[in-house]
Each structure stands twice: as structure tokens, then as C-alpha cells.
Amino acid sequence: MEKRAVILLSGGLDSTTVLAMAKNEGYALYCLTFRYQQRHVREVAAACKIAALYDATKHNIIDIDLAIFGGSALTDNIDVPKGRCSEEMEANIPVTYVPARNTIFLSYALAWAEVLDAPDIFIGVNAIDYSGYPDCRPEYIKAFEIMANLAIQKAVEGKIKIAIRTPLLHMTKGEIIKCGIAMNVDYSPTHSCYDPFPDGKACGSCDSWTLPWSSPTCGCRRATGWRSWWATPISRRWPSSAARPITSGMWWRC
């Protein structure tokens, strides 16, 4: 039987890197993406391209309406913060936090994982260079994993043990990008902006866009020229000759 994993794929940099890691570990990829009435819905189209690029066995796109609840700049009539430094980002949980989003996403992933007999669920959360979201913390992931193994029939019967895989949890953005480059990840289809322009271009000033180069722990400003790279049109970020196949077994050396 094939080794299966459920991958939460947003279409952004982190989830794409996690997808590449799972691929390199030999998993059959079952990708899950959510169209939850988010402001940056363009990420769904990016996720479709990325899933196809990695030959995902199955890619499900789930429609849910978190805008019914609101309470976030991503799903409500609330301005997305712009032009903030890393100190401002870390001061408080920002309004881009979507209430219980990871709990909702992981619950869907858990249900699919039980049906697939897939004990591993991959999610690209990060506890270092992040915006203070409570559902990106190690203690949250640990608690959800405990709950998951108490909540589903196959776990209770001892047929499966769920593991919430978070390979980026303790990595800086610089380390994540370097790791992806070592795996020959093509980041050009990814989308990492909370408030894109109507033509899909990144706003250039939201937390998601600025965090990779503004964080003092990142180092990717020096390592990759990240800010200038991200501002470059997609067609010129990665020449076609650079889009090489993923080399199996390389991610652990990052």
C-alpha cells in the first residue's frame, strides 16, 4: 500500500516547502486547500498550480464561508495592516488572525486522513518568524495531535496513529527558503500576500509580504535578496532552466 499523507496547501511559500518535503519522503500527496472567502483568494489558484507541479495524487478544494463570522482583516471589512516592522508585528496578535482557522483546517484534514488511512498530516506552521497567531504554536499542535487520536474511530481502535507533521516549526524564513532552494523548489507559482492588487500583484507592504525580509532572525535579505526577488515579475523570478525536478532526500541537509 502506498504511503499517504494529507498536506494542507495554501499556495504560499511555507506550505509549498512542506509539500516538497513530503514528496521527498516518498509520500503520495493528498492536498487540501480552502476557499474560505479570504481576501487573498488568489492563493487558491496558486495552490492548484503547485499541486499539479508536484503530481499530487488528489487535490481537494473545500469551500467554507468564514466571512459569515468575520473578525479578521482577511474575511471582514477590516483594513490589512501595512508597512509594519517586525517589532510591531510581534507586539500583539494581528487583525489578520482568522479565528480558529487552523483548527478548522486540521479538522477537515483529520477526517480525510482517517478515510485514507493516512497517519501523517503536514502543515506549514512556524513558531519563529510568524505573526503571533496562537494556532501556530508548538503547544497548540501537540494538543491537537492528542485530541486527534482521541477523536477518530481508527485511532481509538489502534489501527492508526495520527501525527501532525510541522517540519518548519522551528525554522526561520531564511532557513525555510534555503531549504526549498536545496530541494529545487520553484517558488514562482506561490502567492504570499494578504491584500493583493486586482491584477494579482503583491501589495508589497502587508505582514505576509514583509515578514520574510524584515525579521531580524531571517537572514534571507542577505542570503537570497528576498525583497527584490519577490518584487520581480513571476516570469523573471525563475528562468525556465532553473525549474529542475526535486532531488529526493535532500531536504534534511538544509
**Spatial contact of 172 and 215, defined as CB atoms under 8 Å apart:** yes
**Which pLDDT value is given to residue 55?**
97
**Which pLDDT value is given to residue 132?**
78
* 234 phi and psi angles, rounded to 5 deg: -50, -40
> What predicted TM-score, i.e. pTM, was given to this entire model?
0.80
Measured between alpha carbons, how far is 20 from 178 in angstroms, rounded to an integer?
Answer: 13
CATH node for 4-253 = 3.40.50.620
Measured between alpha carbons, how far is 95 from 92 in angstroms, rounded to an integer?
Answer: 9
**Which pLDDT value is given to residue 173?**
83
How many other C-beta atoms can be found within 10 angstroms of the C-beta atom of residue 178? 17
How many other C-beta atoms can be found within 10 angstroms of the C-beta atom of residue 120? 18
DSSP-assigned states of every residue in 75-98: TSS-PPPBS--HHHHHHS--TTPP
**Spatial contact of 192 and 13, defined as CB atoms under 8 Å apart:** yes
**Spatial contact of 96 and 131, defined as CB atoms under 8 Å apart:** yes
Helix (H, G, I), strand (E, B) or coil at 138: helix
Helix (H, G, I), strand (E, B) or coil at 60: strand
Cα(first)–Cα(last) distance of the chain, in Å?
30
The amino acid present at 117, given as its one-letter code, is D
By CB atoms closer than 10 A (0-12, 13-18, 19+), residue 79 is exposed
The tens digit of pLDDT for each residue in 82-132 reads: 556 666 666 678 888 899 999 999 999 999 999 999 999 999 999 886 567
In the predicted model, residues of the chain with pLDDT beneath 70 are 81-91, 129-131, 193-254
CA angle 117, 48, 54 (to 5 degrees): 65
**Which pLDDT value is given to residue 190?**
87
